[in-house]
Amino acid sequence: MRKKVLVTGGAGYIGSHVVRQLGTAGYDIIVYDNCSTGSPKSVLYGDLIIGDLADLDHLYLVFAKHEFSAVLHFAASLIVPESIIHPLDYYANNTRNTLNLLRCCHVMGVNQIIFSSTAAVYGEVGENPVSEFTPTMPINPYGRSKLMSEWLIKDYAITSSLRYVILRYFNVAGADSSGKLGQISPKTNHLIRSACDAALKRKPQMQIFGTDFPTPDGTGIRDYIHVEDLATAHLEALLYLEMGGESQILNCGYGQGYSVRQVIERVKAISEVDFPVIETDRRDGDPACVTACADKIHKVLGWQPKYNDLDLIVSTTLAWERQREMVSGTK
């Protein structure tokens, strides 16, 4: 019998890529998403139930109707500046809703969960690369809401049969090569998206937030991971839990950093557009350098990334952004 999994947030950027891989691998999929930032069009496999994790009664009904072998939990709010302005919304949508999900897992006996966490749980890191043993000291409500969710999962696992894989994402970017999936939320303004917007003339210029960091070219360094490799890590994590693997926290990154200037240079080269770049002050709370130590995920899951290539990340983002404009007519 095909295994049935619940994917919360499966209509969103990362969730939709994972749903596609799960569908290809033969899983039966129920996507639960309020479509606040995701889109039904991004759900290429399974059934979509429009619902909010805050609605515990509805969620119970969904669990009661289906027999899930595992839950993959993506649904969350993830914009750091917004989390500072609306912290309660972040604790509600991220932490409280993870609690709701765990309550349903408890009642219905679902004992495998894969949780989307973030490198933001580490906060202002003093050392690089960052390993899973680096102390967690998040510096904003977004990071804290995710870390609190991790604690809920870990504490509940101590007194139950729950086994988990918590994946801490570094800087996720890129889009699937078929052009069917990519970042659709207009709210996100991460570096590669921002540079592609400038290349596509959706804005007259882009900004570099800080050129006086203690890095070789003075700009921030991050570990950009292609969304398809990240999606594969979820399938491997699921297989790992199905084979009886014990609970794990795993960094998801390549262990290789690129500076803001290097990224912009590649976007200009690949798009063949020399857009204006303004150098401004540092953005509040931006660390100089964050790269992942990815040894553990390689060892535990045998994860072998296929798209560890900044040019590919940039070119798939550009292709997606171009076609998103054509298909939806929105910028």
Using rule CB under 6 A, residue 220 touches ligand UD1: yes
To ligand UD1, the closest distance from the beta carbon of 312 in angstroms equals: 17
Rounded to whole angstroms, the Cα distance separating 289 from 278 reads: 21
**Ramachandran class of 192: left when φ > 0, alpha when ψ lies in -120 to 50, beta otherwise:** alpha
Stretch that binds ligand UD1, among 33-41, 68-76, 190-198, 231-239 (CB under 6 A): 190-198
Dihedral of alpha carbons 265, 266, 271, 277, sign = negative
Residues 59-78 that bind ligand UD1 (CB under 6 A): 78
Amino acid at 326: M
Structure tokens at 273: 């557009």
Catalytic residue among 32, 142, 156, 224: 142
164 is catalytic: no
To ligand UD1, the closest distance from the beta carbon of 196 in angstroms equals: 11
Task: Say how many Å lie between the first and final Cα of the chain, rounded.
Answer: 43
Rounded to whole angstroms, the Cα distance separating 12 from 21 reads: 14
Using rule CB under 6 A, residue 194 touches ligand UD1: yes
Q: Select from 82, 89, 265, 286 the one that contacts ligand UD1 (CB under 6 A).
A: 286
Pairing of strands 258-259, 221-222: antiparallel
Q: Select from 49, 191, 270, 319 the one that contacts ligand UD1 (CB under 6 A).
A: 191
To ligand UD1, the closest distance from the beta carbon of 227 in angstroms equals: 11
Rounded to the nearest angstrom, the gap between the alpha carbon of residue 47 and the centroid of all alpha carbons in its chain is: 21
Using rule CB under 6 A, residue 123 touches ligand UD1: no
Residues 149-188 that bind ligand UD1 (CB under 6 A): 171-172
To ligand UD1, the closest distance from the beta carbon of 12 in angstroms equals: 12
- Cβ neighbours around 35 below 10 Å, total: 18
Total site size for ligand UD1, rule CB under 6 A: 21
Using rule CB under 6 A, residue 83 touches ligand UD1: no
Using rule CB under 6 A, residue 238 touches ligand UD1: no
Rounded to whole angstroms, the Cα distance separating 65 from 154 reads: 27
